[in-house]
Chains A and B, each alone.
Chain A
Amino acid sequence: MKYRHLILRNLFRKKIRTTLTLGSFAVALFLFGLLAVVRGAFQQGVDVAAADRLTVINKVSIIQPIPLSYEDRIRQIRGVSLVTHQNWFGGVYQDPKNFFAQMAIEDDSFFQVYPEFIVPPDQMKSYLADQEGVIVGQKIAKRFGWKIGDRIPIKGTIFPGEWDFNIRGIYHGKRRQDDETQLWFHYKNLDQWVQTKAPTGYWKGMIGWYVVKIQNPDDAPRIAKEIDTMFSNSPWETKTEVEKAFANNFAKQAGNIGFLVTAIGTVVFFTLLLVTGNTMATAVRERTRELAVLKAVGFSDNFVLFLVFAESLVLAIIGGGLGLLLAKFMTLGGDPTGGMLGAFYLPTASLVFGIGLALLVGIASGFFPALSAMRLRVVDALRRV
């Protein structure tokens, strides 16, 4: 492009100013990248939620149990294909800071309801054969350096006592965003504890929540209503939601991360717009005579408009690109919390969106300076000194 040197030379005539503006873009986009990663981490459950799965919890709260006996009755509802149940275990591995999800699962149905989790067949066989066996996600295994055959102690809190588990399998998700930070063990192991060691009646015949796989996602509202109606006016009324809504509500327990991220991002980009707009306006003002000379020798108004826009966009692309690359680089190391966040990466969609935002700011900040440059009257501009 024959105008390249004209654009770049103009852009870098004030090196400090251009560098600072590039820095503003880079910092803003770096922050955007990190916020997108954090938002993604909290949204992960929502993103991976399936449309054909319903979650049935106690109407009072997810921490309240519901009867195991509901399972058969739910299965009878038209349109339900599978039902599985889970219990939140809430144990502590070595230190309370080492938080990760531990759940007792119903082996037969769990892996049918969650086909996205892959366990090698030999490891699955080994797990099923061991009452104290567990399957752990590959991220959590990596975090603690676990390998197949390790015996790990976990201190029970909801189900008090010292629990020892044998790692029999390590699962991974089919998709990048699938949560690989969980630990699963046999419900029958938990049930045996309830039967033999729990105080009388504690969690007896109760589970944490059900996950219901349905044949047709379109039937979700009807089936959810039927389930909740079925158990209304009982001591354990239920609240049934599609998995996405459930995951969304779960994520919101940590605060409205999406709103926070959007609010911070908006402020940052508005500030960037002002900074860049001021830079471009100053740059155009300083070059009034030069722009007039360009017009005098035959460059059109539209070319001058293009020239200012091009400078603004080059700033946006270089600065924004640097910021996003830095954010990408920072997240390559994975979850800095050591596994509390199921997903910690900058998705390509966010990168593309970030570049789009940078370009938008570039266009917006260059708009008025470019317009004034375009409208510049040669005669008036040459008269100014």
Chain B
Amino acid sequence: MVRVDGKGNSNSLIQVRGLDKKYRRGSEEIHVLQGLNLDVDKGDFVAFMGPSGSGKTTLLNLLGGLDVPTAGTVTVAGDEITHLSAGRLTEWRARHVGFVFQMYNLIPVLTAFQNVELPLLLTKLSKDQRRKHVETALGVVGLSDRMHHFPRQLSGGQEQRVGIARAIVADPTFLLCDEPTGDLDRKSADEVMSLLNTLVDEHGKTVLMVTHDPLAAERAHATLHMDKGVLREAQTADVPVGARR
């Protein structure tokens, strides 16, 4: 269940309270997020929509521990992350967050296998264990036969699927997807969205996604609209995800 009124129960996987973010650009102060509240349960799939500059990506960055708020708190699985040091936040990200980017952001000189393996290099897994995890992740995204290909040898959709495999390989608490279909054609976008649905429905993943694409947002359990730093409304899916396709 997704709520934006700040009245969610304390068992929510992600709990945001009074989140404020201000930037200073020269002498001008920009209030990007204004006292935002959010509750997301485990297994939810939430889409954030809204015009450019409304604060969607800023919210994603704060939820992913890439940025720190001006005020307010973000609590994930019981850990309040807003007061962690930069070093602790980095460690926290490695354990809890899987990022999926619009531009895929794969390392071009590494193969699909090596790109997916990256987050596992931070763990104490042996080489053999890492190999098994990577093969599993690539199997989930349907790219077992492309694991030794370099990004330039893959289509955009395949690159994004490698990006998703990289995001899930360390089994993070939740996935943050910043316009995952923004750079893809319709067919590839549908494939990626189907993959995200599979991760949520069959693997129990929690996914928070920023998108401009109404068709992509339709695949989520809930769509939240961000406008001028405020989450205006929550539209919770009342039909099974499969039926919304």
- Which A residues form the contact surface with B (CB < 8 A)? 2-3, 5-6, 9-10, 12-13, 289-290, 293-301, 378-379, 382, 385
Contacts and interface: CB of A to CB of B under 8 A. Distances in A.
Interface stretch (B108-116, B202-210, B235-243): B108-116
A2 B121 contact: yes
Contact of A296 (B86, B93, B109): B93
Contacts of B94: 297-299
Which 7 pairs, one residue from A and one from B, show the smallest C-beta to C-beta distance?
Answer: A298-B94, A9-B109, A293-B105, A13-B109, A378-B66, A379-B67, A297-B119
A295 B90 contact: yes
Given A2-B121, A9-B110, A297-B122, 16 more contacts: A2-B127, A3-B121, A9-B107, A10-B109, A13-B109, A294-B118, A297-B166, A298-B90, A298-B119, A299-B90, A300-B87, A300-B90, A301-B87, A301-B90, A379-B67, A382-B101
Question: What's the dominant secondary structure at chain A's contact region?
Answer: helix
Contacts of B114: 5-6, 9
Contacts of A293: 99, 101, 105, 107
B233 interface: no
Contacts of B229: none
B110 A298 contact: no
Interface hub of A290, A298, A299 (most chain B Cβ within 10 A): A298
Interface of B: 61, 64, 66-67, 86-87, 90-91, 93-95, 99, 101, 103, 105, 107-110, 114, 118-119, 121-122, 127, 166
Contacts of B127: 2
Given A2-B121, A3-B121, A5-B114, A297 B108 contact: no
Contacts of A3: 121
Contacts of A10: 109
A12 B86 CA distance: 31
Contacts of A296: 64, 66, 93, 99
A293 B102 CA distance: 12
Nearest to B67: A379
A297 B86 contact: no
B110 A297 contact: no
B122 A299 contact: yes
10 contacts: A6-B110, A10-B109, A12-B109, A293-B105, A296-B64, A296-B66, A297-B93, A298-B119, A299-B94, A382-B101
Contact of B105 (A12, A289, A298, A301): A289
A298 B101 contact: no
B190 to A, nearest CB: 25
Nearest to A2: B121
A379 B121 CA distance: 23
A327 B143 CA distance: 50
B96 to A, nearest CB: 9
Nearest to A10: B109
Given A2-B121, A2-B127, A379 B66 contact: yes
A299 to B, nearest CB: 7
A33 B152 CA distance: 42
A361 to B, nearest CB: 25
Nearest to B92: A298
Contacts of A300: 87, 90-91
A12 B109 CA distance: 9
Nearest to A295: B90
Given A5-B114, A295-B90, A300-B90, A290 B121 contact: no
A382 B57 CA distance: 11
